[in-house]
Structure 1
Amino acid sequence: MFIGIGLSGVVAHSRPGGWAVWVGGGVVAHDALLTPAVLVAGTLLRRWRRLRFGMFVAGVLALVALPMVLGYGRHPDNPSILPSNYLLNLVVAVALVMGAVAVPWRWVGRVLGSGFRRAAGRSGGDRKGRG
């Protein structure tokens, strides 16, 4: 019942043709552009799981930030709507993600873990006796 009320409001107070084009465009963009690009990238980067993960997270960040980067909803009479430099913010966020992906976290954990074990009074090295 509530869905019907909401849909009647959408039809009465908006342009349903515009919504249909937007939803249809999303389906076409997903099936014709995004899916093949992800499949090709996944195939090319098959050996580098961390890089694939970083590219996935960067892609999601870009999709979420795209309306703000393009300035949708910005009005010249209200400068407080979308006041930041969203392209720069997106570039910084993607750089941080890719930097985090580039760090060999197993090595960092091993180095930090051995330092914590020594500080706690236990012997350094791992369980296999290599260090």
Structure 2
Amino acid sequence: MKTRIALYAVGGSLILLGLRGIVTESEPRSWVVWFAGAVLLHDFVLVPAVLVIGVLTAWLPVACRTPVRAALIVAGALTLVASPMVLSTGQRPDNPSILPLSYGRSLVILLALVVAVTAIWLLRKRTQK
């Protein structure tokens, strides 16, 4: 119990430190817009997408549903987060250090990793029967 309280105190202190940094070292209005956008994206894109995934995968055998749903949700989240970089949003010809990597290739590698982990998960579930 004491450990939990200590961890809460440390976490709360770090949150306050971060908030102080937002207020003193940046423009708070831009952060408010960013957080509001994150809430809207979560409520109007992510949650409906997860619900649709649940409905569309209902035909799968029960043993396969959780791994496939998890993979689709992770793949969707990765794609959503990587999309601005893959589309080169914010890249400028006068500054090649902005978005210098091959983000499309990296996304494909990560998605292949999600597929591989899901395949292993399904194979292990199959062999446990």
Asked whether the two chains share a fold, i.e. TM above 0.5, the reply is: yes
Q: Could you tell me which of 39, 63, 71 is aligned with 2:88?
A: 71
Q: CA deviation at 1:56?
A: 2.3
Q: Could you tell me which of 14, 38, 49 is aligned with 2:27?
A: 14
Unaligned stretches of 5+ residues in structure 2: 1-15
Q: Could you tell me which of 94, 106, 109 is aligned with 2:124?
A: 106
Structure 1 residues 80 and 109, CA gap change in structure 2 (3 angstroms) = farther
Give the 4+ runs in structure 1 shifted more than 6 A.
107-110
Answering whether residue 114 of structure 2 is matched by residue 85 of structure 1, we say: no
The AA in structure 2 aligned to 1:14 is E
- What's the Cα RMSD here? 3.1
- TM-score, normalised to structure 1, is 0.59
Counterpart of 2:52 in structure 1 is 40
Structure 1 residues 8 and 101, CA gap change in structure 2 (3 angstroms) = closer
Calculate percent identity across the aligned residue pairs: 42
The AA in structure 2 aligned to 1:19 is W
Deviations 1:72-98 (A, max 9, x none): 453423323322221232123213322
Which deviates the most, 35-44 or 57-66? 57-66
Unaligned stretches of 5+ residues in structure 1: 111-131
Distance between the aligned counterparts of 1:71 and 1:58, measured in 2? Answer: 20
Alignment coverage as a number of residue pairs? 107
Q: Using CA pairs below 8 Å that are at least 6 residues apart, which structure has the higher relative contact order? A: 2
- TM-score, normalised to structure 2, is 0.60
Counterpart of 2:74 in structure 1 is 57
